[in-house]
Structure 1
Amino acid sequence: METLFFYFELGINHVLDPNGYDHVLFMFALALPYLFKSFSKLLVLATAFTLAHCLSLALAAFNVMSVDPGIIEFLIPVTIALTAIHNLITSGSSKGSYSVQLAATVFFGLIHGFGFSNYFRMIMSGEASKLTALTGFTLGIELAQIIVITSTLLFTLLIAVLASDRKPLILRILSVLVLILSIKIAVGNWPF
């Protein structure tokens, strides 16, 4: 049980660590166009991301597959940029093709999982039960992501209350800011 809780806390810290804000930035961009009434759809996206993240971690932890960390560190901000671009194309509405967004979110989850896989494999190397560690970590990630998407929904609700007539514009501006920040990170992580 101690192992489960250790990795649960590690999963929470992985998402909410201010030094590794790319995960929060991705969840923020993903949640930005949604409203509380669509929380279940957003939760499905976040959970799909978590499960894909877990899958790539498992593939790396069990030495089934590894990916060049330099390329992954470049691709992570690209996934954030693409999510922000999706928001801009759909004008900050969650009404775009949900199945396409779900598939993209799963793919992006795989990429993000590989970004943490080398560190995770290193700290997990001495664990007797890799499955327990992976389960705890995944549950921690999911809880932290629920915190991020709920906070984002509260933020967009505040925008709707304070500036309802300008909400679409504000959401587009926020998406542009996410896009600019993610491009800056991608350029800094250019692997070639």
Structure 2
Amino acid sequence: MTEFFIFLQLGYQHITDLNGYDHILFVVALCAIYRVTDWKKILVLVTAFTIGHSVTLALAALRVINYSTELIEFLIPVTIIFTCISNLFHKSSESVLDTESFSPLRYILALGFGLIHGMGFSNYLRSLLGKDQNIIPQLLAFNIGLEFGQLMIVGVSMVLSFVILEGFHVKKHTWNTILSSFVAGVAFKLMTEKWFF
């Protein structure tokens, strides 16, 4: 197996690892207000998050920027809680045929929060890389692996949403409230464990 595929696999495993479930929670929170029929909006939203975390993942892994690891570990659950709170104020359409409204602010936040999550990813990546090597191929492979894992999480989240909404006839607003509240509760526990101040 080539080094490229090794780092691709490491990126995939890192985001799907249940021991580091904070990133999984964030992706689930991002998708909570959407239906399967909103897949285009989800794709744009996830792309905004990807752009954000790709930038800081690269800058941090290349040691262009420095930051407090403790602060980033605290801010990651804060981004999850903030996303969940914004979900609770979202007015969902109950019609299966309707798609959710487009909110540019949501995409801007996903991009901004992606910057924070990228620094969180970089802690793990930097531990794998040597200081004197050309790390661009490894960085690219790791990021592609992260995206594969992220898309898998989105897929599972959307299938679960479809089953709950269509199979059990749960109202969209109710499901959004339950899912966002649960994720926020878990993130709050994470935040208190990573308390920075």
TM-score bracket, normalised by the shorter chain, equals over 0.9
Q: What residue in structure 1 maps to residue 64 of structure 2?
A: 64
1:163 aligns to 2:143 (yes or no) = no
Give the TM-score normalised by the residue count of structure 1: 0.92
The 1-side partners of 2:64 and 2:100 are apart by 37
For 2:130, which of 120, 125, 132 is the aligned residue? 125
Deviation at 1:95, TM superposition (A): 3.8
Q: Which amino acid aligns with 1:169?
A: T
Q: What residue in structure 1 maps to residue 105 of structure 2?
A: 100
Q: What residue in structure 1 maps to residue 96 of structure 2?
A: none
For 2:114, which of 88, 109, 114 is the aligned residue? 109
Q: Secondary structure at the match of 1:164?
A: coil
- RMSD in angstroms over aligned alpha carbons? 1.8
Q: Secondary structure at the match of 2:171?
A: helix
Q: Which amino acid aligns with 2:190?
A: I
The total of aligned residue pairs comes to 192
Shift in CA distance, 75/42, structure 1 to aligned 2, threshold 3 Å: same
Whether the 8 Å contact between 1:43 and 1:146 is mirrored in structure 2 is no
Q: Which amino acid aligns with 1:24?
A: I
Deviation at 1:98, TM superposition (A): 2.3
Q: Which moved more, 1:132-141 or 1:34-43?
A: 34-43
Deviation at 1:165, TM superposition (A): 4.7
What are the ranges of 5 or more consecutive residues in structure 2 without an aligned counterpart?
94-98
What are the ranges of 5 or more consecutive residues in structure 1 without an aligned counterpart?
none
Deviation at 1:92, TM superposition (A): 5.0
More helix by share: 1
Q: Which amino acid aligns with 2:121?
A: F
Q: Secondary structure at the match of 2:151?
A: helix
Counting aligned pairs with the same residue, the percent is 37
Q: Which moved more, 1:123-132 or 1:146-155?
A: 123-132
Q: What residue in structure 2 maps to residue 41 of structure 1?
A: 41
